[in-house]
Amino acid sequence: MEFRKLFLHSSVLVLHFAFSSSRDTITINQTLHDGDFLISRENNFALGFFSPGSSSFRYLGIWYHKVREQTVVWVANRDDPIKGSSGVLSIDQYGNLVLHSYHKQKAPVWTTNVSVEVTDYCVAQLLDTGNLILVRDKSESTVWESFDHPTDTMMPGMKLGLNRRTGMNRFPICWRSADDPGTGNFSLRINPNGSPQVFIYWGIKYIWRGFPWPLKSYADILNVSFVNNQNETYSAHSVTDASVILRITLDHSGLLKKLIWHEKDGKWNEFWSAPKSPCDPYGHCGTYGICDPDYLSRRFECDCFPGYEPKSPRDWHILKDASGGCVRKRLESTSLCGHGEGFVKVANVKLPDTSAAVWVSMNMSPTDCEKNCRRNCSCSAYASIDIAGKETGCLTWYGKLMDTVNNREEGYDIYVRVDAVELAEIAQKWNGFLERKDMLAILVVSVVSAWFVIILFTYLWLKKKKERVRNKWNKRWLDTIGRTYYNETSVENQVEGSMSHPEIAFFNLSTILAATNSFSPANKLGQGGFGVVYKGKLSNGKEVAVKRLSKDSGQGIDEFKNEVLLIAKLQHQNLVKLIGCCIQGEEPLLVYEYMPNKSLDSFLFDMAFMERRENMGDS
C-alpha cells in the first residue's frame, strides 16, 4: 500500500514537472494563475506574477529564468498593480490576452486590445528571446508582441523606433523606482528628423543624445544595426556571443546602462552607461560650443568653434558656466556671403545635433559636398561621411550647432563656415606654428647631434683608456713572471713567445679557445677556489689542462706570480708540470700537462685507504 502511494505521488510530481517545464503557451481554453509560470522552450525566460523589491503588489511580467537574481525585462500591468494573489491571465472570446483580478470583477486589469477578425485558433507563446507573442491563425502570423511595448529594457532583437506604416513608436520608459515598475519620467526614443538619433528624454526635454546615424562599427560583443527608409526608422542590437546574457536598461534615475550577467559572481556587471562624463548632458557647452571629456589640461571642458567666442565671457571664464554658448566673433559677418569666407576642419567629434541637418546626397564626394554648402548662405557646416555600401554621403547643417563633443575613437570630421578674417587669422597662426615647429625641429636635431658627438667621443676615449690599462696590466703580469721579451707580431703557430724560464711558454688566447672548444662545458674537469679547469688539445696533439682564473676569485698578481714561478722551479713526479700561461683578456690562464689517471687527490686518497686496510689486517 505504501509503495502504491509512493508510486502515485512520484508520478504526479513527474507529470507536473514535465507539464510546467514544457509549457510555453496559453490557448483559448487555458488560464495562468498567480503561482503558475510559462517557461520558454530553452528555459531562457519565464512569465508569471511577481512583487518587485519590498512592494506587496503583484504584477504580470517576464524575467530571465536562468539568472539567479530575478531580473524583470517586461511588465504587463505596470500602472495597474494587483492586490494579493488574485491575478489570472487568459485569452478572451475576442482573441485578446486579458489580465483579471478577483478584486475587480468588471474591467480587466490589462489587455492586448488587438482589433482584428477572430478565428477559432488563438495562442500566446513565450519565445526564447523573451518576446511574448499572440497568434490568431495557423499561418502563425503575429498580431501582437511584447517587444512592441517595451518597459524599461531593450532586448536583443527588439526594435527601437518608428513604424511609419502603422504609426507605432517603440521606446522604453523607466520604472518609477526600484520597487515600483510604474511609468517613470525618463524615456529612450529615436528622433527620426534629419539624421536619426537616440535621445534620453526627461518628459519632453533632451537629457542625453547618442551618436547620429550612420554609426561607426567596431569589433564588440554588441552588434548594432540601423534601418531608415520610407516604412521604418529603427535601431536594434544583437549579441555576437550566444552564451552571453546582455541587456540594455534605462533605470529610474535616467541612466542608460549596458549590463552582462556574470554567473560566477552571481550579479550583473555594468560595462557602459550614459550620461556619465561632464560632456554627456545634452548641450552642456551651449550653441557653437565643443565639449572635451579630456579637458584636465585646460581646466575647463568647453571651447568654441573656430570663428566663435563665448557669449558671456564672465560666465564662461569665471563661473565655468557655458550654457549660454558661443556667438560669432564679428556679428556683422553673419550676413556676409560670397566674400572670401571658407570652412575650417574640426576633427574627430561627435557630430552636432542632426535634427535640423539635411542629407544632401547619399553619394557625393567631399569636394561636391563643400560646394553645395558654400552655395547656400544658411549652411553653417557640413560633413562628408563614409557610409558602408553607399560610398560617401553629404550631411549639412542649417542654423545653430548644438551638443558637439570631442571623440577621438568614434568621431567624424566637420567643416565649419567662417568669414575671410577668421580664415586669415587661422592661416597666420598655422604659419607661425609651422615656423615654431621648424625651429623646434632644428633645435632638437642640433641638441641630439651634439649629444651624439659627445657620447661617441666619450665612448672612444673610454675604450682607448681601457686598452691602455689592459696593456699596462698585461705588461705588469709579464714583468712579474720574469718575461724579458714580448713581441706579439712574432708569434708562430700556437705559442706567442717564451718567458725567462726556458720551459714556460706563452700562449695566444685564440689557441686556448681552439684547444678547449671555447671552454665547452663538456671539457670541464673540475672547479676549485680560484677558477675552473678544462681539458684541451693543442694543434700538435698534446693534451693539456687549462686553469681559468676567475676575476672574482680573489687571486691577484702576487698569487699568480707565486704559482707560476714556484711550479716552474719545482720538478717532482707528484707535481703537475706547468707548460705555459696566457694573459690576454681579463682572466689569466695557466696551461698544465694533462693527467689522464684521475686527479692527484684521488690517487693519494686511494693509497692511504689501502695502507690503512693492510695495517688493520696485520693487527
Q: Are 255 and 185 in contact (CB under 8 A)?
A: no
Model pLDDT, residue 425? 86
If one compares 122 and 63, the residue with the highest pLDDT of the two is: 63
| Separation in Å, CA 554 to CA 223, 525, 566 | 70, 21, 19
Min mean pLDDT across 98-112, 177-191, 278-292, 453-467 is at 453-467
207 CB-side CA count, 13 A: 18
Answer yes or no: are the C-beta atoms of 32 and 20 closer than 8 Å: no
More confident residue, 506 or 257: 257
User: pLDDT category, 55, cuts 50, 70, 90?
Assistant: very high
For 487-542, give the secondary structure using H, E and C. Answer: CHHHCECCEEEECCCCCCEEECHHHHHHHHCCCCHHHEEEEECCEEEEEEECCCCC
At residue 524 the predicted structure's pLDDT band, cuts being 50, 70 and 90, is: confident
The Cα–Cα gap between 49 and 76 comes to 10
The region of weakest confidence among 40-49, 290-299, 457-466, 484-493 is 484-493
User: pLDDT value at position 15?
Assistant: 35
CB 171 within 8 A of CB 188: yes
Confidence tier at 363 by pLDDT (50, 70, 90): confident
pLDDT at 14: 37
Q: Give me the pLDDT at residue 294, please.
A: 86
**Stretch 299-310: mean pLDDT, rounded?**
93
State the binding site for ATP.
547
Cβ contacts of 365-371, under 8 Å, gap ≥ 24:
365/392, 366/392, 368/394, 369/394, 369/396, 370/343, 370/415
d(CA 579, CA 564): 10
Flag the least confident range among 64-68, 284-288, 481-485.
Answer: 481-485
- pTM of the predicted model as reported, rounded to 2 decimal places: 0.68
Residue numbering of the annotated binding site: 547
pLDDT at 19: 39
Per-residue pLDDT at 492 exceeds 80: no
According to the model, what pLDDT value does residue 342 have? 92
Pick 48 or 5 by higher pLDDT.
48
Average pLDDT for residues 172-177, to the nearest whole number? 98
3-state secondary structure of 311: coil
Residue whose C-alpha cell is 523606482:
177
| Radius of gyration, alpha carbons of the chain | 45
- Is the pLDDT at 218 greater than 80, yes or no? no
Using alpha carbons, select from 548, 540, 507 the residue that is nearest to residue 524.
548
Set of cell numbers at residue 298: 585646460
DSSP 29: T
pLDDT band at 399 (very low <50, low <70, confident <90, very high): confident
**Residue 350: per-residue pLDDT:** 95
d(CA 289, CA 548): 77
**Mean pLDDT score across all residues of the chain:** 82
- Give whichever of 37-51, 109-123, 433-447 has the largest mean pLDDT: 37-51
Percent of the chain clearing pLDDT 70 (strictly above): 77
Residue 431: CA count within 13 A, CB half-sphere = 5
Q: What percent of the chain has pLDDT over 90?
A: 49
Mind listing the pLDDT tens digit for each residue in 344-357? 999 999 999 999 88
pLDDT surpasses 50 at 166 = yes
Confidence bin at 444 (pLDDT 50/70/90): confident
pLDDT reading at 330 higher than 60: yes
Torsion of CA 604, 610, 616, 617, to 10 degrees: -160
- Cβ proximity of 235 and 214 under 8 Å: no
Residue 521: the pLDDT is 87
Domains of the chain as residue ranges with CATH: 24-274 (2.90.10.10), 299-418 (no CATH), 488-605 (3.30.200.20)
pLDDT at residue number 96: 93
Whether the per-residue pLDDT at 529 is higher than 70: the answer is no
Average pLDDT estimate for 12-25: 50
Residue type, 568: A
What tens digit of pLDDT does each residue of 416-435 get?
Answer: 999 988 888 887 775 554 55
Tell me which DSSP letter residue 307 carries. Answer: T
- 565: region left, alpha or beta (phi > 0 left; psi from -120 to 50 alpha): alpha
